[in-house]
Amino acid sequence: MGWLATWYHRWASPPWFYQMSGRWTRGLMGLALPLLCVGTLWGLAFAPADYQQGNSFRIIYIHVPAAMVAQSGYILMASAGLVGLVWRLKVADVVLRNCAPIGAAMTFLALATGSIWGKPTWGAWWVWDARITSMLVLLMLYLGVMGLGSAFRNEQAAGRASAILALVGVVNIPIIKYSVEWWYSLHQPATFRLTEKPAMPVEMWAPLLVMVLGFYAFFGAVLLARSRVDLLDRERRSRWVRSLVAEHAI
Amino acid sequence: MGLVPLAGLICRREWLLAVRSPAQVLNPLVFFVLVIAMFPLGISPAPEVLARIAGGVIWVAALLAVLLSLESLFREDRDEGVLEQLLVSPHPLPFVVLVKVLVYALLVGGPLVLMSPVLGLMLSLPPATYGTLVAALLLGMPTLFLLGSVGAALTVGLRRGGLLLVLLVLPLYVPVLVFATAAVDAAQLGMPVRGHLALLGALLALMLVVAPVAAAGALRVTSEE
């Protein structure tokens, strides 16, 4: 357990986080871009068309990864909130506050692509299906965290208030996940299951897997890049930022 | 002081405040009735249409009335310095918040629950469903106030906190709304309602445990602002 404690203490220190997150951002972006390019090309051009939905199903390669990242983003945000509340870590606060806009964007992307996909498949742009509604609620939860965070003048209070809200909101995540089983509706059941073989043929889900990995890497890269800048701004009066600025000054 | 005498004192204080300024308790009730009166005017006075939407209309109006009343849950206590006294007192803050919220729910939510069968009558809801309507409100209303107390505690110190409070709390009300209106719908169709009511009860049990702790934490955070 010793290495875990060391790792944890290192990442909790702002200068270390700043330095390492730079490397990680570059690494994750270097992973995300090829994955997203390959996945998009493979999914849109080479994967076989669906026998029922034809080519319109190809939007799944954006829709499903965006929805997955949107949901995990909230859980990550709430976890950062818990860490921030319990150990009073500045880095956790920063990660939480920067999770919200990216998560909101991903949720919006999932809703928008779902709506575009719904038109040819169900014949309507918007259907009040349990899962779509849950995603809409998720979007509002993200917007609430963003709104609350910006309403405070004191950054520390803003971080802790957002953390409490994120933790209360996390109660809704299981409802989103299990809404499909609770209310029978028009939406098809979850595409990926850990315990079963996917219902799609390999040629269809392999590019989807690539896209999902690409989206996660992209999310991580953007989150770290944003957090890094935010941390630098908040710590602008500290010694390590001053010496960093002095180092890079011409 | 033990917890029971403490709870008695909080109840007495809230009761006196409500009796001496009844507008705080009565305004949500008037709001509730007025909002519901707008629906027949806006949609249709036909009994079959109204009966179909009655459960949802009553519940949405109740959500809005609760939201409207939440702003004053901690506001006056903060302005008068009572909140600071509670924060520095040796009593467990989550317990104080729990008692305060439950008394507030009884004072503000109670009249809404009592009024709901009358409104059901006005919206042509079949009399057989009144029992379910009231039971769902009795189980759901405290949950609304408990969830709302977290939002009220988070926004108590902020200017323009009112609209933000709505944005924070309304998404969290979705499960309560879904199960409660499902119960009323099921009663209208003559189907068993116990499952829906049980889920409402489960949500209430969860919030009784979670919400006071979160609201107390939020009050500590906002007092630093």
Helices (H) and strands (E) in chain A, counts: 9, 0
Chain A CB within 8 Å of residue B160 CB: yes
Q: Is the pLDDT score of B100 beyond 90?
A: yes
- Compute the distance between CA of residue A129 and CA of residue B174 in angstroms, rounded to an integer: 14
Chain A CB within 8 Å of residue B202 CB: no
Question: Which of A85, A148, A153, A185 is the best residue to mutate to test the B interface, defined by the most B CB atoms within 10 Å of its own CB?
Answer: A148
| Structure-token pair, residue B169 | 């709390």
Calculate the average pLDDT of chain B.
90
Nearest residue to A77 (alpha-carbon basis) of A159, A3, A184, A156: A159
Under an 8 A CB cutoff, do B171 and A161 touch? no
Under an 8 A CB cutoff, do B221 and A157 touch? yes
Distance of residue A164 Cα from the nearest chain B Cα, in angstroms: 6
Nearest residue to B178 (alpha-carbon basis) of B50, B60, B49, B54: B60
- Compute the distance between CA of residue A223 and CA of residue A235 in angstroms, rounded to an integer: 18
**What ipTM describes this predicted complex?**
0.86
Instruction: Indicate the pLDDT class of residue B141, thresholds 50, 70 and 90.
Output: very high
- Please state the length of chain A: 250
Beta bridge partners of A50: A54
Q: How many alpha carbons fall within 13 Å on the CB side of residue B220?
A: 14
A129 phi-psi bin (left φ>0, alpha ψ -120 to 50, beta other):
beta
Instruction: Indicate the pLDDT class of residue A184, thresholds 50, 70 and 90.
Output: very low
Distance of residue A151 Cα from the nearest chain B Cα, in angstroms: 7
- Compute the distance between CA of residue A102 and CA of residue A219 in angstroms, rounded to an integer: 7
Measured CA to CA in angstroms, residue A137 lies from A67, A104, A222, B30 at distances of: 13, 11, 23, 29
- The pLDDT tens digits for A153-167 are 888 888 899 999 999
Instruction: Indicate the pLDDT class of residue B77, thresholds 50, 70 and 90.
Output: confident
Q: Name the strand (E) or helix (H) holding B158.
A: none
Question: Which residues of chain A are within 8 Å of residue B186 when distances are taken between CB atoms?
Answer: none
| Distance from the first to the final alpha carbon of chain B | 30
Q: What is the pLDDT of residue A182?
A: 57
- The pLDDT tens digits for A78-126 are 999 999 888 888 889 999 999 999 999 999 999 999 888 888 887 888 8
Q: What is the pLDDT of residue B219?
A: 92
| Structure-token pair, residue A66 | 């965006």
Instruction: Indicate the pLDDT class of residue A67, thresholds 50, 70 and 90.
Output: very high
Enumerate domains of chain A plus CATH numbers: 58-186+206-224 (1.20.120)
- Compute the distance between CA of residue B197 and CA of residue B200 in angstroms, rounded to an integer: 5
Instruction: Please give the single-letter amino acid code of residue A168.
Output: V
